[in-house]
Amino acid sequence: MLSATDALDIIYNNKSVAIVGLSPKTDRPSYKVGSFLQEKGYTITPVNPGCAEVLGQSCAASLGDLQPGSVDWIDLFVNPVRLMPLVDDIIRLSPKLVWCQIGVVNDEFNQKLDEAGISYIADKCPKIEWNQ
């Protein structure tokens, strides 16, 4: 698992992110982080099967709808029990980083990312870390 500093170094230079679980509700942390990243110049791809659009961007229903190379990194706002079903698509997409938000921790998932050589950080928020 990367440190916050190392994870931030990756995202500072990689401006395309898929945000899994991005909510259209303005009071949700995912919306606040997505909005923050847009303000910082990032291209976001919302991944939410229940929405057509969030933050002015068309939603993908799942990571399976994305093509390898279409995003630089992935930000996960999902219940930790929902991580394992995402791992095969994440490995297929081969992002430079997987960022698991605060409370999004799953050791089995982390092990699969390690085995695939995919960098990750867990239990942190890029917006909070950015401002420290």
pTM of the predicted model, to two decimals? 0.96
- pLDDT 10s digit of each residue in the chain, 132 long? 999 999 999 999 999 999 999 999 999 999 999 999 999 999 999 999 999 999 999 999 999 999 999 999 999 999 999 999 999 999 999 999 999 999 999 999 999 999 999 999 999 999 999 976
Span 4-130: which CATH code? 3.40.50.720
- Are residues 110 and 86 in contact, defined by beta-carbon separation less than 8 angstroms? no
- Show the CA angle centred on residue 79, arms to residues 54 and 130, nearest 5°: 65
Residue 126's contacts (CB-CB under 8 Å, 6 or more residues apart) are 7, 8, 11, 33, 37, 75, 99
Domain boundaries, the chain: 4-130
